[in-house]
Amino acid sequence: MRTYTSIPENEEPQPSTENFQPVASVSRALRVLRCFTVDTPELGVSEIARTLGIHKSTVHRLLATLEHEGFIRQVEGGRYMLSVAVLELSAAVTAWESIRETVLASLRKLAEHTGETAHLAVLDTEEVLYVEKVEGKWSLRMPSSVGKRLPLNCTALGKVFLAGLEPDASHRIIHGRRWEARTPNTLTDPYKLEAEIDAVRNRGYAMDREEVEEGLACIAAPVTDDRGITSAAISISAPSPRLMTRLEERIGAVQETSRSLSRLLGADARRLREATHIT
């Protein structure tokens, strides 16, 4: 964990879903694209207008725009079919699914080996964002779920992300707010937290010792890209007594899985943050 990454000083604001009003023209254009199927690969203006219940003149304008953008093309007889831009989008989805399957396979293997619940998370707007979760053989009530966010200071995953940032960036985050104490063990003093992050950088893994929830412990390690930059992190969680009984073995399993997943993903590891934004 010697290579660092940085986060922007000012994040782009996330769009609000409150009182959401879809853009009508975009919705209509997407509905036009959905008219094309395996059974109906070619369609005329009248067929689309009839299917969607909109005027042919509107369909003409939508088709002209989609053709200009490369999503459809005109064929013989004035009919239309999907074009290569749609295939490019499909390839992007396929590529992400391949990455996700690689991640899930690694998490399943870790959960099976340790018996504990395994997670993958990313750093998003200075919070831990849980992206994938594989249950272990023991049922466990915990505050994590896919799409959930937790603070950086009290989670093993969050500590990994702080350790993966450039030191000045992690310093700014650590000293830039008042940290909430979720349990008596939560690190809220910025100087103690910063010392903990330095230790995480040196040893290559982080721990949550009942800092999110009493009785629950966690081990986390980074997933790095081909440049050694932290792109995500994996973890296992378990009741403290069970985790501490075989601590060194569990740490080794998490670190080996993180290294293996980093090797498998290579440059694709940095796509984890780009492709896994959950609202």
Instruction: State the pLDDT confidence band at 279, using cuts at 50, 70 and 90.
Output: very low
116-137 confidence digits (pLDDT tens): 999 999 998 889 989 888 988 8
Instruction: State the pLDDT confidence band at 141, using cuts at 50, 70 and 90.
Output: low
Instruction: Please give the pLDDT value at position 138.
Output: 72
Instruction: State the pLDDT confidence band at 11, using cuts at 50, 70 and 90.
Output: very low
Question: Could you tell me which residue, 4 or 168, shows the higher pLDDT?
Answer: 168
Alpha helices (H) in the chain, listed in sequence order: 24-35, 45-52, 56-68, 84-114, 156-164, 167-174, 190-203, 240-245, 247-265, 271-275
In whole angstroms, what is the distance from residue 156 CA to residue 209 CA?
9
In whole angstroms, what is the distance from residue 239 CA to residue 218 CA?
9
Could you tell me the sign of the dihedral formed by the alpha carbons of 181, 183, 188, 194, in that order? negative
Sequence-distant (6+) residues with CB within 8 A of 252 are none
Question: Could you tell me which residue, 26 or 94, shows the higher pLDDT?
Answer: 26
Residue from 171, 169, 203, 176 nearest 2 by CA = 203
Instruction: State the pLDDT confidence band at 97, using cuts at 50, 70 and 90.
Output: confident
Looking at the predicted structure, is the pLDDT value of residue 111 above 60?
A: yes
Q: What percent of the chain has pLDDT over 70?
A: 86
Instruction: Please give the pLDDT value at position 139.
Output: 63
Residue type, 133: K
Could you give the domains of the chain?
24-82 (1.10.10.10), 92-275 (3.30.450.40)
Could you tell me the sign of the dihedral formed by the alpha carbons of 54, 60, 61, 63, in that order? positive
Q: What percent of the chain has pLDDT over 90?
A: 64
Looking at the predicted structure, is the pLDDT value of residue 229 above 60?
A: yes
In whole angstroms, what is the distance from residue 259 CA to residue 241 CA?
26
Angle at 17 between CA 14 and CA 23, to 5 degrees: 100
Mean pLDDT of the residues in the chain: 86
What is the side-by-side strand order in the sheet with 80-82?
Answer: 42-43, 80-82, 72-74
Tokens of 4: 């660092």
Looking at the predicted structure, is the pLDDT value of residue 36 above 70?
A: yes
Distances (CA, A) of 247 to 215, 240, 250: 15, 10, 5
pTM: 0.69
Instruction: Please give the pLDDT value at position 272.
Output: 81
Instruction: State the pLDDT confidence band at 95, using cuts at 50, 70 and 90.
Output: low
Mean pLDDT over residues 65-77, rounded? 91
